[in-house]
Each structure stands twice: as structure tokens, then as C-alpha cells.
Amino acid sequence: MSLKGKTAVVTGSTSGIGLAIARALAEQGANVVINGFGDAAAIEAERAKIEADFGVKAAYDGADMTDGDAIAAMIAKAEKAFGSVDILVNNAGIQHVSPIDEFPVEKWNQILAINLSSAFHGMRAAIPGMKARKWGRIISTASAHSLVASPFKSAYVAAKHGIAGLTKTAALEVATHGVTVNCISPGYVWTPLVEKQIPDTMAARGLTKEQVISDVLLEAQPTKQFVTVDQVASLAVYLCSDAASQITGANLSIDGGWTAE
């Protein structure tokens, strides 16, 4: 499959799953816009490495996913620079672990903005161009938590269930325009996001780090293995292929059997 001539915007792609997806799409020939926070020199090194490794154009846009106007501007800028935005991957996400009655209100608002509303803003800005060109792929990184819940993750679970609903709605709206809209629901993938929530889970549940990994994280995953970022990226690439043109409105699990239980 070749994505040569296509342009992909991948939010939250300075690290983890997003970076793997951006690199995998670039490997197929797509120009990519990476986005996210982090050390400026490290981000520039990743951007330049994508160009060097895959011979495509790669740009960086620092749009904050809590800011709808910045998201719309990112899409407009990418369309102007590359001629189109054909693939939108809504991947940016954060986590906060706390009981509901102690959940900081600002964290709730931030998680809903980054993990859910940013996808709405991105779709809203990118869909007109995709419809006009009669081709588009919108993929959101949801989570097993778009299908089932865990305690102490109220905002995250609510936002991810929201992504699943937004995916279905958008898919129906653009179904006759050559645009597919799907979400991918990984179980636990070993990334900085997972690593960072270990101390909070240790505190919330009174467990050691080893116990959090075995009894909380991999407890949910029947295969007892973490999903890899490259496995998630491969599924995103597949969803961009012509073979996947009839997959739309779907929520695809890649969770080692977690949600089968």
C-alpha cells in the first residue's frame, strides 16, 4: 500500500503511540504533521528523523489540544503547506487517577478537552476538505476504557466512551463521501502515559510498583503482555488502506483479550 501524496495529521505524536503511528504512516509515503508537547530539540530531532528515514515531508505544529481554535488553525496550516489533510489521527490523551469525590475539577475539564473535544475540533476542521476530495481517513485512539470502566478513572473513561460515540456519529455523516471514521481501542500499551500513572495508582490502591504492574495493569489483560506501539500503528495503517474502505464507525479492540472478559 502506498500513502504517497497523502498528508496525515497525528495529534499527540511527540511520544508513545502517536509517534509510532506518525512514523508508520510516513513509512507508507505520507507526509506527516506531528504535534504534542516536549523538549523542543527532541521534537525537532524526531521530525527530522521522519524525513530522513522515509523521504517524506514532516512538519511540527505545537497546537494545544485544549484549544479548539489552535486545532482548526493546525488543520488549515497543514492544508496550506501540503495541499490537503487526508488522514487525521486523534491520538493526544492524558490520564488522571483519583476517586470521583476527590477528582480535581480542572483535571476533569482538561481530560475531557484533550481526550474528547479535541477530536471534535479536528474532525470539524478536516472533514470539509476530505469530503471535497472524496477520500479521508479519521482514526481516533480510544481505549479499552471506551468499552469498559475501571475505578478512579472517571474522566478518562467518560471521554473514551465519548470518542466511541463521536466516531459512530461522524462515520454515519460522511459514509457516502469516501471518508471512514474509526477508533482503535488498545489495552495497556507500554508508553510514558502508563508509566506515569503507576505512582498515583500505587497511592490510590496502596500497592507497590510491582503489584500495580501485575495486579492492576496486566491483571486486566488475559495475554499478560503489554500491547506494543507498533502493533497499534499497524492497525492504523491498515485502516488507511483501500482494503479497509468498508470499515467505518467501528471500535477496534487491540487489548490482549481484556474486553472479551
Instruction: Determine the interface stretch with ligand NAD among 44-52, 79-87, 188-196, 205-213 (rule: CB under 6 A).
Output: 188-196
Min CB(169)–ligand NAD separation in Å: 19
Q: How far apart are CA 171 and CA 1, in angstroms?
A: 23
Establish if 125 lies at the interface with ligand NAD (CB under 6 A). no
Among residues 109, 161, 111, which one has the least CA distance to residue 140? Answer: 161
188 binds ligand NAD (CB under 6 A): yes
CA distances (Å), origin 243, targets 98, 179, 183, 247: 42, 13, 17, 9
Distance CA 48, CA 95 (A): 29
- Nearest to ligand NAD of 74, 179 (CB atom): 74
Range in contact with ligand NAD (rule: CB under 6 A) among 46-54, 77-85, 101-109, 189-197: 189-197
- What's the gap between Cα 77 and its chain centre? 20
Q: Which of 28, 84, 91, 182 binds ligand NAD (CB under 6 A)?
A: 91
CB nearer to ligand NAD: pick between 39 and 102? 39
Rule CB under 6 A: is residue 94 a binding residue for ligand NAD? yes
Residues annotated as part of the active site: 156
Nearest 10 degrees: Cα torsion 166, 131, 135, 239: 0
| Stretch of residues binding ligand NAD (CB under 6 A), selected from 45-53, 60-68, 80-88, 124-132 | 60-68
Residue 139 interacting with ligand NAD (CB under 6 A): no
Residue 186 binds ligand NAD, judged by CB under 6 A: yes
68 vs 136, beta carbon nearer ligand NAD: 68
In whole angstroms, how close is the CB of 177 to ligand NAD at the nearest point?
26
Write out the binding residues for ligand NAD, residues 193-252 only, by CB under 6 A: 193-194
The answer to whether 14 contacts ligand NAD (rule: CB under 6 A) is yes
Q: Which residues bind ligand NAD (CB under 6 A)?
A: 12-18, 35-38, 64-66, 91-94, 114-115, 141, 143, 186, 188-189, 191-194
